[in-house]
Amino acid sequence: MAKTDLADIACSIARTVGIVGERWTPLILRDLFLGITRFEDLRRDLGIASNVLTDRLRALRDHEIVETRVYQENPTRTEYVLTERGRDLYPVLTMLLAWGDRWLAGDDGPPLSVVHHDCGRVTEGVVVCGECAAPVTADNVTWHPGPGGKGGPGVALVGTRLAPLPDGLPSAE
């Protein structure tokens, strides 16, 4: 069976996973959010092969998730900095962290704590409705087709499980 390029699937989850779903990429993003921005520091922290790190950083740059900035002129040295597109992945990482803390932390507890600057308390990722700010869970939402939805590889049955949007309700954009 031919491998389907996730970018060709009419699904935002598939397209996102196609870019950031490779096993090293979320860890590279974690380190960038923690302020580790230089190639050698990333390589050393992750214990990743240089060629693999080069490939992942190139893909992140190609998708405008990171950009390079010169931090030293002679010799020229660059660091990797998250773009707006990259910073927008922060909630994704915090939700992965929250899930891992809940289900995989073990007896010692979570390996990281996230402290919210505004209140000074340890916090975790929570998904809330963009309209009313109430928590969003699998039990209190329904999924409906969006304007970009279409059939094809990777969504063979999805369309059969979605109810049309109620009359007069605009799709989220």
Structure confidence at residue 149 (pLDDT): 78
pLDDT at 1 over 60: no
48 band by pLDDT with thresholds 50, 70 and 90: very high
3-state secondary structure the chain: CCCCCHHHCCCHHHHHHHHHCCCCHHHHHHHHHCCCCEHHHHHHHHCCCHHHHHHHHHHHHHCCCEEEEEEECCCCEEEEEECHHHHCCHHHHHHHHHHHHHHHCCCCCCCCCEECCCCCCEECCCCECCCCCCECCCCCCCCCCCCCCCCCCCCCCHHHHCCCCCCCCCCCC
The whole-angstrom separation of Cα 108 and Cα 35 is 25
Query: pTM of the predicted model, to two decimals?
Result: 0.87
Of 122, 119, 133, the residue nearest 98 (C-alpha):
122
Structure confidence at residue 35 (pLDDT): 97
pLDDT digit string (tens) for 77-89?
999 999 999 999 9
Tell me the pLDDT of the chain averaged across its residues.
91
3 band by pLDDT with thresholds 50, 70 and 90: low
pLDDT at 60 over 60: yes
Please state the rounded mean pLDDT for residues 115-125. 94
Which amino acid, one-letter code, is at 131? E
The whole-angstrom separation of Cα 75 and Cα 77 is 6
pLDDT at 42 over 80: yes
Percent of the chain whose predicted confidence (pLDDT) is above 90: 75
144 band by pLDDT with thresholds 50, 70 and 90: confident
Q: Which of 55-64, 122-131, 149-158 has the lowest mean pLDDT?
A: 149-158
Please state the rounded mean pLDDT for residues 35-41. 97
Structure confidence at residue 17 (pLDDT): 95
CB atoms within 10 A of CB 20: 19
